[in-house]
Structure 1
Amino acid sequence: MELDLKNKIREFLNSDSNSSIINSKEFYFQKAKDASSDFLKLQVSEENKAFLLSNRKEYSKLKQLFEDTGELAEFGNLIFTIISYCDSKAYKKNEFNQYKDKRVLALAFVRMNYWIEHLITYKFENKLDKGSIKNAIDYLLNPIENFTMLSENHRKQLSEKLFKKSYDKSTFKGDVINFFSEFSIEVLNPLNYTHLLTRIIYSISSEWKENLVGIMASDSTGWLSDFQMKDTYAVFWNSKKPSGTNDTIRLLKECIIEKGHFKLFYTSYYKVNYIAEVIDVVEGENEYLKADWEVNYRNDYAYPKFEDLQDDNKSAKIIFLINKFYQVDSIPIDQFKLFKNYSYPRQDNLTPIENYITNSQHIENILIKKMKQLLLYKKQIILQGPPGTGKTRLATEIAKSLIKNNSIFDISEDNILSFFKINQEITARKESTKYTIKEINKDSILLSTTREDRSPTRKQIYESYVGKLWQKSSEERKSNTLSYADALAKNIYERFNSIKNNSYYKIIQFHPSYTYEDFVRGIVAIPNENGEGILYKGEDKILAKLASDAKEDSDNNYILIIDEINRANLSSVLGELIYALEYRGEEVESMYSVDESILKNKLVLPPNLYIIGTMNTADRSVGHIDYAIRRRFAFVDVLPKELEDDNIVFHKEIFRKVSELFITNFDEYNANEKTVLKRANTLSGEFRPEDVWIGHSYFIQKKLEDGSFEPQDFTIRLDYEIKPILLEYVKDGVLNGKVGEMTVEEYIKSL
């Protein structure tokens, strides 16, 4: 096993997220096991048994009956409870899953109709087709012998890519355990061992997993601009199958099972402008007839006959069932990572897509680039918008983009020694033992010690940095003391790896009592070492310190982020620096002296110091920014937006319902963020939607390092964050009127 892979595994094993599994005395999924047992023991009348078997594919019908009917309600509660422990996107997971952290076996994303159909079959006929659902039940019944890696396709890929052998279900357990044997992994309860191994496997998924998010088609014929989803579903088709036919279609179907859909990207003139979401795919006439979408996806949509899927001399070779189609701001095709070595599509070709910059990410990247250019020109900007639009996060990303231009930011084996040119003292071994760097050679660092072996090479330092070897126990490292290479690597990590802690970047938050003495310079009291009493002296505060650092290091960028910049009295806080903001590099007189030199009162804001402020436009209790200060900042609106990102769960439906309290043209704005917002009747005429419409960050659940999503129950955020701010808006007169037959207050409480 390669060193980098070993280091990844060790790092994941040492993460806090695994301690609950390693140290759990009980079976980690005992509640799921109990629910499965109760489900299998549940007595059902022959009449209901026959009804369930004959309607096992009618998910919508059964879901309603499970909620409304006595015996079927008990059956439904148990079946939904099992699924809530197995699948991250289970129906009412937060209600049925009784774990505080809402843990699930895997990020299965299997569609609910599949779960219901297969679990009914298993309950009454004691059989399950191979696949994710069978693997989940096998695990709950016998966790020692099975894994929470549910996907058969993932098991196949793991075996071939990491174990270098064909997948064999009978030997799979042994193959996995043998692969991890050198790490001597121990858990308090043996039943949790295979689940821990599964989590490790997914933490290194980039080493083995083939993954598609969709396929790309080239089409400039114009029909896409005229097409509108008039029904719940629509059928699209193509006259050619995708590149890598069998493997590609297999991975696309896997994507549907895991995520509910894959994306069909339509390009024109080297840009993606339209996206369809595909929930089923078939090849040719036989599969189209067998799929029987008219029965399995009932609605008023008139499904076309197969012979109608043709155009001139072209006929359907692959057919897609879609449930979403939308236009996006153009995404250049170079933002898409193609699968294997396939080429971009031409004419009727279809190209499999491994990954891509989502539309929301693409828009954010463009915005960051634009803000970076604006900041380089203006030197200071203010990001303004309503609460929850990610202003502070955006400010941080802009700061990162500027700092990445710094001469010593990127870490590689080649440049790792350059980090110590500005940091001549390091801590090694015990925290109290410090060593001075005597000399930096081409390939090593000589420390202030007489022993020759205290000159670690750049390769040793880099390997320690990558593997975080200073975190390892003496048994893991085969050493009782911290090596000097580890000490240097640890020093780099602590000083430079965390952007918030390095000297180029500072973030502060203003408040109403913030003063010039807090921000620029002030007087501090110190003991009089030569006599009684105390002495008073001037001291640089955060801005003056950062300005001094930037002035002495003109090759690098320095950034100060001021969160809630409008909550302080800016005229008072900035003082003479109002002038310095515009005339960079020129000296201004400070009211305080910090040393005895001739320039003791002077202050300079150098051109390589940049300031990013954030401002909440919904807060009318804060002071007004006067025109003299406003003229020196560039103001940028940061507004709510619907997010599309595989690294989060975004609650789109509730976001839409809340958004419609502020604007009436949500869909239009969502398709094009340049659209002028139209005020909803429920928004007071005194307020602009741009100032008070609550932002997208309220509706996000983030992905954790092991691939799972943060265990937050979204109803908690809804009840204790979203509803309170909306009800406060009602109290303050921002929102009023009615939504249908309900008052705004009733509507908010009903969300």
Structure 2
Amino acid sequence: MVDFKILKISHGTYFFSLEDHKFMLQHRLASVHPNTSAMGVSGTTQYENFINAKKGDVFFICRSNESVNVIGMFRDERPLHSLMKNHYEEWIDREFIVLYEPQDKNNYDKTKDKWWLPGNNSTCNEVKNNEFHLFEEKILMPAFGKNIEELEEKRSQELKKLEMSISDISKIQSVFDELSQNDLKIFEIINNLSQIEKLKIYYEYSSKGDIDKQPVVSLRKKNIQYLVESNSPLTKEKVEELKKEVANQFDKNVFQSWSSYFRILYPIYYHQYKTDVVRSIKNLINDTRKDLDIESFTKSNFVHFDGAQNQGFNRVWFAIYNSSHKNQKSAKQLFFNIYNGGYEFGLLSHKNPSINKLISSQNFDYQELLEVYRKFIPEIKEDDNTKYTEMNDLKELLEYKKQIILQGPPGTGKTYTAKDLAEFIVNDTVSINKKEQAEYISKCNQIDIIQFHPAYTYEDFIRGIITEPFGDKVIYTSKDKLFLEMVEKASRNSNPHILIIDEINRANLSSVLGELIYALEYRNESFKSMYANKQGIYEITIPENLYIIGTMNTADRSVGHLDYALRRRFAFYDILPKNFEQEEAFQSELFQLVSRLFVKEIKSSTAELEASEHLSLEFQDRPQDIWLGHSYFFKKENMDFSLQLKYEIVPILQEYVKDGILNNTEAVAQIIKDLLKYQDVNS
């Protein structure tokens, strides 16, 4: 069964003169008007049949019922505003490749038996698969002397000629190299594009809808429109003129960072190749994963000449990596790179560059690629990131927001999580042995920890005035405190620097942070400190690579809430109690019994939590704020757990009842009594 469509396209005598018809065939163009409606009860218009046809779909063109003139194949999926001047404003064309010229253009079935026959008053109708034999009988054999098998073979041959190879992409990459280094070369290339190519690009930009709020897209559209409608070449002076025209529609200088003509105009050159480049790279990735038998545990990512932000890029690369990773940045990769007119492939790790094993070659050999990749399959398979899923989520959040607060009730491990995250960001791992972790953090120049308390001030945290001996006198001078010391360290290099602030909400944050509240949001912009430094300079700039991790006890009602201005500068992440039932030292049964005071069922997501009926109305919406944490239920080494139960768990629950967090009911009292029974049984 064939895998392509066959369409009838009629260039009717009412709309196309004989000269028009010859013009379209000469330029290898088929044309349909967008208002061409559906036939019969079809839910698809004839224009939709035309515009949605795929690259490689086949059609025949007839001139009403006078003749059948060609069997063609769509060469791409890029329509264009009609090349014919009298049709330009309204009709849409598509470029094709000739498969067969007719042997006898008048020898075909001239009846109206089928919608797709030339004798029927239709413009673009599909020949259904089950009627291919009728198409062969009524048109293909009599007019062209061919059968369906021959047509299929001819189509396959022509389609293969259109395939973009990796070598073809390398040649395009060489052009992008030149364009990125010679900003004016782009004008030479795009001014030499054919009119058909320009019309294809203009069609795409005309189809984008409302782009008034997209200055760069608007500018690109105006440039291609000028190329289409003007007889003059595009120049840098004309681009600057169109820039001003677009910029006048906006309040700010929207093109401040768009001085490069390459960045603005590269899509006009790349448009003709983009679909095939993307398809070719995807096919290479899919074939590679299939032939290496690694589909079940890998995924991939790739970047082509658009770059990550549609600003132009002079490389094409892909990465295949363990699917447990959120993206390739944290993973070991089977890497492939087209650059400098050649290829680079092998094992790549951004986290640990010392293990990189990349091969460079001027020629692409797929079998060599597979042979190299096979050596690294075990490393990719073992690079399981499942255990670091939460760390990766937190890292991504912190990199986005720059400062986060880990919030939750006592005993959920907020401080442990903060230390784990800091170590993970700096060292790409998390120590299992917490004593070793503490030693690592104490020696690490990129991590500092501080604990806030109610008496903590701006002068303690950022900069303050101190006295210093000066001969037999004392003088007053300013001194940078922990935060500005971290700023200084982070400013020296691009490595991440982490400041952990434990119990961040115990201090009066608005007072402690002062003008820093503004600076946290607007990194790399200077702000004035209350005090000048020893050089008399007030300005301070917080670098992008300084991150803040705060911890906050949500059950502590003795401290004030964060105001909205502060909350806007931080991202908040809930650290929930967990049931470590697989851990021998964890008292899982007891944890579940106590948890019923707070939630109806233990869940790992805040969205799924439902408050217990034992909880006061104040905490019905957020039971996670006061739910007793799991650390209370780990038996300490060489200690009787009954001591923890009697002097830690029961007293805090009784305090919750006293404070009105838990309802003072017989049911709550009974659960607390049951805890004591648990103590008696297990003491």
Normalising by structure 2, what TM-score?
A: 0.41
Specify the structure having the higher radius of gyration (Cα).
Answer: 2
Higher RCO structure (Cα 8 Å, ≥6 apart): 1
Normalising by structure 1, what TM-score?
A: 0.37
